[in-house]
Amino acid sequence: MSECPGRLLVVDDESAIRNALSDYFRECGWEVDSAAEKEEAEALLICTEYAIVIADLRLTGIFGVEGLDIIQLSRHLRSETRVVLLTGNGSPEIEAEARRRGADVFLQKPLPFEELEEIVTGLTRREA
Protein backbone atom coordinates (compact mmCIF):
# COMPACT_ATOMS: atom_id res chain seq x y z
CA MET A 1 0.00 0.00 0.00
CA SER A 2 1.23 3.49 -0.79
CA GLU A 3 1.90 6.20 1.76
CA CYS A 4 -1.15 7.60 3.53
CA PRO A 5 -2.30 10.74 1.71
CA GLY A 6 -3.33 12.36 5.00
CA ARG A 7 -6.15 12.78 7.48
CA LEU A 8 -9.68 13.54 6.31
CA LEU A 9 -12.89 14.49 8.13
CA VAL A 10 -16.32 13.55 6.74
CA VAL A 11 -19.28 15.50 8.18
CA ASP A 12 -22.77 14.38 7.19
CA ASP A 13 -25.91 13.77 9.24
CA GLU A 14 -27.01 10.91 6.96
CA SER A 15 -25.27 7.84 8.36
CA ALA A 16 -25.38 5.91 5.08
CA ILE A 17 -23.57 8.70 3.22
CA ARG A 18 -21.15 9.38 6.09
CA ASN A 19 -20.23 5.71 6.44
CA ALA A 20 -19.95 5.11 2.69
CA LEU A 21 -17.67 8.13 2.21
CA SER A 22 -15.58 7.18 5.24
CA ASP A 23 -15.17 3.58 4.05
CA TYR A 24 -14.36 4.67 0.50
CA PHE A 25 -11.63 7.09 1.55
CA ARG A 26 -10.16 4.58 4.02
CA GLU A 27 -9.86 2.13 1.12
CA CYS A 28 -8.03 4.89 -0.78
CA GLY A 29 -5.49 5.07 2.04
CA TRP A 30 -6.75 8.05 4.03
CA GLU A 31 -7.00 8.21 7.80
CA VAL A 32 -10.67 9.12 8.25
CA ASP A 33 -12.71 10.56 11.10
CA SER A 34 -16.40 11.29 10.79
CA ALA A 35 -19.03 13.38 12.50
CA ALA A 36 -22.81 13.43 12.28
CA GLU A 37 -23.42 16.92 13.65
CA LYS A 38 -21.83 20.33 13.90
CA GLU A 39 -20.77 20.06 17.55
CA GLU A 40 -19.06 16.71 16.98
CA ALA A 41 -17.23 18.11 13.94
CA GLU A 42 -16.13 21.19 15.87
CA ALA A 43 -14.68 19.05 18.67
CA LEU A 44 -12.70 16.99 16.15
CA LEU A 45 -11.47 20.08 14.30
CA ILE A 46 -10.22 21.64 17.52
CA CYS A 47 -8.09 18.65 18.51
CA THR A 48 -7.05 17.15 15.14
CA GLU A 49 -5.34 18.53 12.04
CA TYR A 50 -7.01 17.55 8.78
CA ALA A 51 -5.73 17.88 5.24
CA ILE A 52 -9.30 17.73 3.91
CA VAL A 53 -12.77 18.30 5.34
CA ILE A 54 -15.74 17.03 3.34
CA ALA A 55 -18.92 18.50 4.81
CA ASP A 56 -22.57 18.44 3.91
CA LEU A 57 -24.17 21.88 3.81
CA ARG A 58 -27.30 20.92 5.75
CA LEU A 59 -26.82 18.89 8.89
CA THR A 60 -30.12 19.32 10.74
CA GLY A 61 -33.05 19.18 8.38
CA ILE A 62 -33.95 21.57 5.62
CA PHE A 63 -33.19 24.79 7.49
CA GLY A 64 -29.74 23.98 8.87
CA VAL A 65 -26.67 25.29 7.07
CA GLU A 66 -24.09 24.21 9.63
CA GLY A 67 -21.70 23.23 6.84
CA LEU A 68 -20.95 26.93 6.41
CA ASP A 69 -19.90 27.17 10.06
CA ILE A 70 -17.69 24.10 9.67
CA ILE A 71 -15.91 25.73 6.72
CA GLN A 72 -15.25 28.86 8.73
CA LEU A 73 -13.97 26.97 11.78
CA SER A 74 -11.74 24.74 9.63
CA ARG A 75 -10.13 27.78 8.04
CA HIS A 76 -9.82 29.63 11.34
CA LEU A 77 -8.06 26.74 13.07
CA ARG A 78 -5.80 25.71 10.19
CA SER A 79 -5.78 27.76 7.03
CA GLU A 80 -4.09 24.96 5.05
CA THR A 81 -7.06 22.63 5.48
CA ARG A 82 -8.89 22.17 2.18
CA VAL A 83 -12.68 22.15 2.43
CA VAL A 84 -15.18 20.45 0.12
CA LEU A 85 -18.83 21.35 0.65
CA LEU A 86 -21.50 18.95 -0.61
CA THR A 87 -25.15 19.80 -1.03
CA GLY A 88 -28.28 18.52 -2.65
CA ASN A 89 -29.96 21.94 -2.38
CA GLY A 90 -27.46 24.50 -3.54
CA SER A 91 -27.96 27.95 -4.97
CA PRO A 92 -25.62 30.58 -6.40
CA GLU A 93 -26.06 32.60 -3.18
CA ILE A 94 -25.14 29.67 -0.95
CA GLU A 95 -22.16 28.81 -3.15
CA ALA A 96 -20.95 32.41 -2.98
CA GLU A 97 -21.26 32.40 0.82
CA ALA A 98 -19.46 29.05 1.05
CA ARG A 99 -16.58 30.36 -1.03
CA ARG A 100 -16.50 33.60 1.01
CA ARG A 101 -16.11 31.52 4.16
CA GLY A 102 -13.29 29.51 2.61
CA ALA A 103 -14.69 26.48 0.77
CA ASP A 104 -12.30 25.28 -1.91
CA VAL A 105 -14.94 23.30 -3.77
CA PHE A 106 -18.75 23.41 -3.79
CA LEU A 107 -20.35 20.26 -5.24
CA GLN A 108 -23.89 19.11 -5.94
CA LYS A 109 -25.02 15.67 -4.75
CA PRO A 110 -25.16 13.01 -5.96
CA LEU A 111 -21.57 12.73 -7.06
CA PRO A 112 -19.64 9.55 -7.90
CA PHE A 113 -17.09 8.81 -5.18
CA GLU A 114 -14.37 8.40 -7.82
CA GLU A 115 -14.98 11.96 -9.01
CA LEU A 116 -14.88 13.25 -5.43
CA GLU A 117 -11.62 11.37 -4.84
CA GLU A 118 -10.07 13.01 -7.93
CA ILE A 119 -11.07 16.43 -6.61
CA VAL A 120 -9.70 15.68 -3.14
CA THR A 121 -6.44 14.37 -4.59
CA GLY A 122 -6.14 17.50 -6.71
CA LEU A 123 -6.62 19.69 -3.66
CA THR A 124 -3.89 17.89 -1.73
CA ARG A 125 -1.50 18.16 -4.66
CA ARG A 126 -2.05 21.93 -4.81
CA GLU A 127 -1.16 22.10 -1.11
CA ALA A 128 2.14 20.24 -1.50
For residue 101, what is the domain's CATH number? 3.40.50.2300
Average pLDDT over residues 98-116: 92
Q: What does pTM read for this prediction?
A: 0.90
What is residue 34's predicted lDDT score, i.e. its pLDDT? 97
Q: Is 30 within a domain?
A: yes
* Residue in 65, 55, 61, 11 with CA at minimum distance from that of residue 37: 11
Least confident of 13-27, 32-46, 52-66, 86-100: 52-66
Q: Is 1 within a domain?
A: no
63 pLDDT band, cuts 50/70/90, is low
Q: Report how many domains make up the chain.
A: 1
Q: Is 58 within a domain?
A: yes
| Rounded Cα gap, residues 86 and 32, in angstroms | 17
Q: Is 69 within a domain?
A: yes
44 pLDDT band, cuts 50/70/90, is very high
What is residue 109's predicted lDDT score, i.e. its pLDDT? 86
Amino acid letter, residue 45: L
| Rounded Cα gap, residues 128 and 122, in angstroms | 10
What is residue 126's predicted lDDT score, i.e. its pLDDT? 66
What is residue 1's predicted lDDT score, i.e. its pLDDT? 42
Residue range of the domain that includes 63: 7-127
What is residue 107's predicted lDDT score, i.e. its pLDDT? 93
